Homo-oligomer: A and B are copies of this chain.
Amino acid sequence: MPQFLTTTDPDFDAAFAALLTMKREDAPDVDAVVAGIIADVRERGDAAVIELTERFDRLSLTPESMAFSAGEIAAECDKVSPEDRAALELAAARIRAYHERQMPDDQRWTDGAGASLGWRWTPVSAAGLYVPGGLASYPSSVLMNAIPAKVAGVERLVVACPTPGGAVNPLVLLAARLAGVDTVYRIGGAQAIAALAYGTATIRPVDKITGPGNAYVAAAKRRVFGRVGIDMIAGPSEILVIADRDNDPDWIALDLLSQAEHDESAQAILVTDDAGLAQAVVAAVEARLQTLDRRAIAGASWRDFGAVIVTRDLDEAAMLSNRVAPEHLELCVADPEALAEQITHAGAIFLGHWTPEAIGDYVGGPNHVLPTARSARFSSGLSVMDFLKRTTIARMTPEALAAIGPAAERLAKSESLQAHGLSVRARLDRLNREGGQ
């Protein structure tokens, strides 16, 4: 049974605070191992990557076989059923259409002082996408990472995906091809992150690395951050559903379970102003749990981290949701647009009864890589912006420099940065001499 809280309970505040600070993940400390692997790949390059792949993935590679050939990719893609292919193509098209709208504009203007100012966006030159092997090898995540990169204009996009014992998911390769990935490497773990960040004789280094991974991959990404850009370090998935009384408890139960089935550390929370619905959803979850193949995982998540909160009204529900800052937020209420106006912190909002969160995982269009562990308080989901950077632009005319240069000179002096001031003064002196001629 999950926690069952009611906001009118005298000890609700303490219980809710405990829910917020609950530790859901006990990440093993693999940092020393990862540091050794990165140092090894930096020193020995391909040879280290090949040895580590042999050891961890039971796979013998040569520099030539590190990447899938075009023929190998085509052969794997041919194994995909027409139905799966059509679904993946629909998803790719919708994700692309959504992310194309995210492309920001360059700006340039001249202000009252005569200064021409602005900024320009340019893409990262090369990006590497990590795709886990095995159970968590999701073709949808390939689309969600690769499409924003290509929309941004990334020239060279590579994937690293371990293939333990040589096993590969054809849908992952098809997703990579649909998204425009240039090269897919059969490597994984910290050694793949090190190779992407520092390069080897065979693998050219990239500028940005994104994508999910296990504790070794996460530790390696933290370590190479600065050398390359990285996306967020994702934690276990979360959903918070705000529901009023007019809901089918079974739908809500399935939405909660669709997060819980990801991971024993996932968290599903129902917040409702109707105690009757709360009870009905709990019963529906129990009933559905019996039928799920992944009931052990989903059941553990629901039992250990699930929560049902009954509030006085929906305003209170929104306020509590903002304190959680959930990764996914469903608003299953009569007027979801009005309630959405009250939401200040959430990774993604799904409005109304006909928008199960699973739609957003695959075909909605928005990205499914979203901030977890309350980080929606200060960060956003993956987007085209993650593969772009902004260069600011300034151009002074002599008149503009005459107007604002003296203030710069004054501030430089106040900060004891003499050459700063002189670089302005030398130009102002020229203007004064020429003005006096």
Taking beta carbons and an 8 Å cutoff, which residues of A are in contact with B?
83-84, 86-88, 90-91, 94, 97-98, 101-102, 104, 107, 109, 111, 113, 115-117, 119-120, 122, 124-125, 135, 138-140, 171, 207-208, 226, 228-229, 233, 248, 250-251, 254-255, 257-258, 260-262, 288, 292-294, 298, 336, 340, 343-367, 370-371, 373, 375-381, 383, 385, 389-398, 400-401, 404-408, 410-412, 414-424, 426-427, 430
Bound CA span A392–B350, Å: 9
- Most B Cβ at <10 Å: residue of A208, A288, A366, A401: A366
A394 close to B139 (CB less than 8 A): no
A407 close to B87 (CB less than 8 A): yes
A381 close to B392 (CB less than 8 A): yes
Distance to closest chain B CB from A423 (angstroms): 4
On chain B, the residues within 8 Å of A395 by CB distance are 336, 350-352, 354-355
Asked whether A140 and B411 contact (CB < 8 A) given A258-B419, A366-B394, the answer is yes
Distance to closest chain B CB from A67 (angstroms): 23
Bound CA span A354–B379, Å: 38
**Closest residue on chain B to residue A259 by CB atoms:** B419
Asked whether A87 and B261 contact (CB < 8 A) given A359-B404, A376-B391, A420-B358, the answer is no
Partner of A366, one of B117, B293, B379: B117
On chain B, the residues within 8 Å of A124 by CB distance are 377-378
Bound CA span A140–B412, Å: 9
Distance to closest chain B CB from A217 (angstroms): 16
Asked whether A354 and B416 contact (CB < 8 A) given A365-B111, A411-B363, A427-B251, the answer is no
Q: Work out how many copies of this chain go into the complex.
A: 2
On chain B, the residues within 8 Å of A260 by CB distance are 419
Asked whether A420 and B355 contact (CB < 8 A) given A91-B407, A378-B389, the answer is no
On chain B, the residues within 8 Å of A208 by CB distance are 378
A292 close to B138 (CB less than 8 A): no
B421 close to A373 (CB less than 8 A): no
Bound CA span A344–B155, Å: 12
B420 close to A363 (CB less than 8 A): no
A365 close to B258 (CB less than 8 A): no
Identify whether the interface residues of A are mostly helix, strand, loop, or mixed: mixed
A288 close to B411 (CB less than 8 A): no
Bound CA span A134–B84, Å: 63
Bound CA span A361–B113, Å: 17
**Closest residue on chain B to residue A402 by CB atoms:** B354
Asked whether A349 and B391 contact (CB < 8 A) given A125-B344, A423-B251, the answer is yes
Bound CA span A97–B393, Å: 14
Partner of A359, one of B353, B375, B394: B394
On chain B, the residues within 8 Å of A349 by CB distance are 391-394
Asked whether A344 and B122 contact (CB < 8 A) given A336-B395, A395-B352, A411-B362, the answer is yes
Distance to closest chain B CB from A336 (angstroms): 7
On chain B, the residues within 8 Å of A336 by CB distance are 395
Distance to closest chain B CB from A290 (angstroms): 12
Distance to closest chain B CB from A108 (angstroms): 10
**Closest residue on chain B to residue A376 by CB atoms:** B389
Bound CA span A426–B358, Å: 12
On chain B, the residues within 8 Å of A406 by CB distance are 87
On chain B, the residues within 8 Å of A98 by CB distance are 117
On chain B, the residues within 8 Å of A171 by CB distance are 414
Asked whether A418 and B83 contact (CB < 8 A) given A378-B207, A400-B354, A411-B140, the answer is no
B228 close to A426 (CB less than 8 A): no
Bound CA span A359–B396, Å: 9
- Most B Cβ at <10 Å: residue of A351, A415, A421: A415
On chain B, the residues within 8 Å of A102 by CB distance are 119
**Closest residue on chain B to residue A107 by CB atoms:** B101
- Most B Cβ at <10 Å: residue of A257, A411, A416, A426: A411
**Closest residue on chain B to residue A417 by CB atoms:** B261
On chain B, the residues within 8 Å of A394 by CB distance are 348-351, 355, 359-360, 364-366
Bound CA span A405–B138, Å: 18
